[in-house]
A and B are shown apart, each in its own frame.
Chain A
Amino acid sequence: MPARSVPIRAQLMKMLLLTSGMVLLFTCAAFVTYDLATFRQSITGQLSTLGRAIAANSTAALAFDNPGDARAVLAAFRADRSIVAAALYDTSGNLFASYPDDLMPAELPRTVQPDGYRFEGGYVVGFEPVVEGDRPLGTLFVKSDLSVIQERFSSYGLITGVVIALSALLDYLVAYRQQSRISEPILALAQTARAVSDRNDYTVRADRSNTREIDSLTEAFNHMLTQIERSEARLRAQMGRLSLLQHITSAIGNRQDLPSIFQVVLRNVEENLPIDFGCICLNEGASDALTVTTVGAASQQVSASLGLAEGTRVPVDVNGLSRCMRG
């Protein structure tokens, strides 16, 4: 069973849109993946910078046992709303101060963990040493949610959606224009073929396009039409001759005399061939002349001006007729 026939326009459009869509999707995916990878690094980098700054400001609070000052220092995290928890631990690992004020101690790590930042259950957590000179005074804990990443990816989603929508629209317009350069000559060729088959008119020709392969096809098609046209003309001529032969045969069959048969032949020739003058000459015996026996009905006037009235003898050597005589 043959596959369902799909218009060439639709196929070309589908092909172009699919190609550009795939390219766009792949580009966006690559871009977002790269950004996600680098953004995770930059988030830990930023958090670590912030952590170091707060740790540097927390030294005196830890050194001089001032939790109020420590809370005030930690309150600076308020500027970054992705920081959901922060705490300072003393050198013994006891909780010294925490942020925000309403944070339950259970929400904080019970023990101080090794220094460094890592992703943990949808958060970035980090432990930063608080050091004055070379003397450790405690540890800063900081916990940031990934709302920044989520916000960034929401923005990406929106931007990607808009870009894809606009690109699809632009693609459609460009694809529509581009596909017509291929599909229209093919459709025009199909239309010409249909006109030929509908009207049996082999004189029409398909127009050239700007596409090399389609031009080759058009040329081949036009050449084929020319061949058919010539064959048609030859066929018609052949048919004419056959018809003449039929008339002659029928005249003979009707026992008509020779002048009548000549008249039938001349009439048919005059009617079917584009001639100005037609006559039948006989070559009697071994004479070197032809005798005009019958002049066609439509050739009477011309015969007078040519001096070729019935009964006129025309020498064979004159006008190269001897070549005709030899066949």
Chain B
Amino acid sequence: MALLSSLRALLLGAVLIAGQAVGAPTEYEIKAVFLLHFSRFVEWPDNAFSAPDAPFVLCVFGHDPFGEALDAAVRGETRGDRSIVARRIRDVAAARECHILFVHRSEDVRLAEILAALDHRSTLTVSDSIRGARRGEMIRLITENDRIRLRVDVDAVRAARLKVSSNLLRAAEVVGTRGS
């Protein structure tokens, strides 16, 4: 019996390795590409950039679940004439320099503090928190049935003077009041 279980475990392991081998993207590889895509489906006001040639900054706060995936996703990418750079930050004050700020679910406890520090700055906040319906972030990435869904809080987006493309809104679950 123990032998059979061991065999089954071995087989399962082999299948998982095979799955990895064919290059199926991992959850955070997909999320890294999503973060990059947000840069194209959201409009930032001009004053969100310190200089005309200032880069578009994509930040990960605290724990970094992406590893190389995020750097690979943004490598060589541009947003208009601006290059896109990925930064890892641990300091709440540094979040002010970010255009997109991702907060991993392990940093949930600091989410309120981070949002307060941003104080309605034009920073698109994204989390993959699994707690609570609305915790103040603008976009939440929800994993369901091996797919990643989007939930957009339009009130939070509007407060930050950002404009989300209607295409993105249609592909997402929208919370908050829509329209003016």
Residues of A within 8 A of B (CB): 56-57, 59-61, 63-66, 69, 72-73, 132-133, 135
Contacts and interface: CB of A to CB of B under 8 A. Distances in A.
A126 B59 CA distance: 40
Interface string B138-180: 0000000001111000000000000001011011100000000
A56 B147 CA distance: 23
B41 interface: yes
B155 to A, nearest CB: 20
14 contacts: A57-B167, A59-B167, A60-B41, A60-B168, A60-B170, A60-B171, A61-B171, A63-B41, A64-B148, A64-B168, A64-B171, A66-B150, A73-B170, A132-B40
Closest 7 CB pairs between A and B? A60-B167, A60-B171, A63-B37, A69-B171, A66-B171, A60-B168, A132-B40
B30 A65 contact: yes
A94 to B, nearest CB: 12
Given A132-B37, A133-B40, A135-B40, A65 B147 contact: yes
B41 A132 contact: yes
Contacts of A69: 170-171
B34 interface: yes
Interface of B: 30, 34, 37, 40-41, 77, 79-80, 147-150, 165, 167-168, 170-172
B147 to A, nearest CB: 7
A56 B168 CA distance: 12
A147 to B, nearest CB: 30
Given A63-B40, A63-B41, 18 more contacts: A57-B167, A57-B170, A59-B41, A60-B167, A60-B168, A60-B170, A63-B34, A63-B168, A63-B171, A64-B37, A64-B148, A65-B147, A66-B147, A69-B171, A73-B170, A133-B40, A133-B80, A135-B77
Contacts of A63: 34, 37, 40-41, 168, 171
B130 to A, nearest CB: 19
Contacts of A133: 40, 79-80
A133 B39 CA distance: 11
Nearest to A69: B171
A134 to B, nearest CB: 8
Contacts of A73: 170
B146 to A, nearest CB: 10
B40 A64 contact: no
Nearest to B34: A64
Contacts of A65: 30, 147-148
A132 B40 CA distance: 7
A74 to B, nearest CB: 13
A98 B119 CA distance: 43
A215 B98 CA distance: 104
Nearest to A73: B170
Contacts of A72: 170
A266 to B, nearest CB: 131
Contacts of A66: 147, 149-150, 171-172
B30 A60 contact: no
A172 B167 CA distance: 64
Nearest to B172: A64
Contacts of B80: 133
Contacts of B41: 59-60, 63, 132
Contacts of A60: 41, 165, 167-168, 170-172
A133 B172 CA distance: 20
Contacts of B171: 60-61, 63-64, 66, 69
A133 B82 CA distance: 13
Nearest to A58: B167
A70 to B, nearest CB: 8
A60 B30 CA distance: 14
A64 B173 CA distance: 12
A299 B155 CA distance: 143
Nearest to B23: A92
A72 B147 CA distance: 17
B144 to A, nearest CB: 12
